[in-house]
A and B are shown apart, each in its own frame.
Chain A
Amino acid sequence: MLKNWAMIGLGSGPTGHIYITDMDTIERSNLSRQFLFRNKDVGHFKAAAAAGAVTLLNPDLQGKIKFFQEKVGAETERTSWALLFFKYIFTLQWVGEKKELFNDAFFESLHGVTNALDNVDARKYVDRRCVYYRKPLLESGTLGTKGNTQVVLPYLTESYSSSQDPPEKSFPSCTIKNFPYAIEHTIQWSRDLFEGLFKNQAENVNAYLSKPNYAQEILKQNGAVRSRVFFFFSPFFSFP
């Protein structure tokens, strides 16, 4: 999102400004889908790294991006500009000349807000703020292979909170295992397989080694869990 804004030159004019915030730091697992970040950024704050990366993409943004590590929510209301980016909280705003960030004047000064949040509550919160201050909101999100955006314009469209997503459809397990007919099914299959082979198995073994009662606890659980766990153990032990 931010890179797209940078490439169209948003906020890069003489009085332009962009504010971004994200409370998280970059983890290695983010690199595959958060393209502004590189190996060297791991461990750094996302907002700072993102600001640096897009300034390289568009040097006109030099000095026009301010970044923060604040969570978006009632507790930071005094500083609540929006934010956003992918699963994490980033908010991105484009404002005119601004010195004071900590009050209504801040929101009033924005021309727009972009969300790239990772949860519905934070989205609704930013939506409420944008409705209150009558600011346009671009909402965005990803889920697996899917992406979503929604444009909210005051007096013109419904707001983000006016509609609710339909419940998620999941694929039946027999489709995934035996009768896939879309690439999404095969991706899900691979993901499940990866989890089973390289993560769950090791976790179960470690739990067995670190918790004295682990085996007894598993025995009390239902059959499905039990067979799965024992299965993972099978390279090391033999169970009937």
Chain B
Amino acid sequence: MQWARQQFQNLFSNSIQQLITAFPPDALTSEKMPFWSGTKRCPTPILFDASNPTHLDFIIACANLYAFNFGLKGETSPEYFVKVLENIVVAEFVPKSNVRIQVNENENVQENIGMLCFAF
């Protein structure tokens, strides 16, 4: 559950915050055009909320899938999850300064942001 909660944080909050740190909503391109325009849609980080069913479902599914990987018995009671989640502390997000983000298909940049998805 701890792992699932951290996944949620990495995927929907940290990586998004990293992205908007690199490209704030009002960022301009080198041609002085708004960066977030056309098909690029400026993302909003999600603050975890255990009373939001979508958030809770993610944690329940994620924790159970991971438990299955290791042959652990699952647990699907939402009440139990809510209780445990109250005591899980998630590290504060600190933007990384050395991350470069691939903007165009042809640009060959190390894709650190993508790796955030898999960070443990």
Contacts and interface: CB of A to CB of B under 8 A. Distances in A.
Interface string A154-197: 00000000000000000011110111110000000000011011
Among A173, A181, A197, the one with the most B-chain Cβ atoms within 10 Å of its Cβ is A197
Interface SS majority for chain B: loop
Interface residues of A, number: 20
B105 A172 contact: yes
Interface in B70-108: 101-105, 107
Interface in B12-66: 19, 39-41, 62, 65-66
Contacts of B103: 174, 178-179
A197 B39 CA distance: 28
B115 A231 contact: yes
Given A197-B7, A197-B65, A198-B65, A177 B111 contact: yes
Contacts of A194: 65
A31 interface: no
Interface SS majority for chain A: helix
B104 A174 contact: yes
Nearest to A205: B69
A85 B1 CA distance: 40
Given A173-B114, A193-B117, A231-B118, A178 B19 contact: yes
Interface of B: 7, 11, 19, 39-41, 62, 65-66, 68-69, 101-105, 107, 111, 113-115, 117-118, 120
A234 interface: yes
Contacts of B11: 193
A175 B111 CA distance: 12
A202 interface: yes
A177 B118 CA distance: 12
A173 B114 CA distance: 9
Among B19, B65, B66, B120, the one with the most A-chain Cβ atoms within 10 Å of its Cβ is B120
A123 B39 CA distance: 37
Contact of A179 (B7, B41, B115, B118): B41
A177 B114 contact: yes
Given A179-B39, A181-B41, A235-B120, A174 B65 contact: no
A179 B117 contact: no
A225 to B, nearest CB: 14
A91 interface: no
**Among all A-B residue pairs, the 10 with the closest Cβ atoms:** A172-B105, A181-B39, A174-B102, A177-B114, A179-B40, A202-B69, A198-B65, A235-B120, A231-B118, A181-B41
Contact of A177 (B39, B66, B113, B120): B113
A181 B69 contact: no
Contacts of A197: 7, 62, 65-66, 118
B60 to A, nearest CB: 14
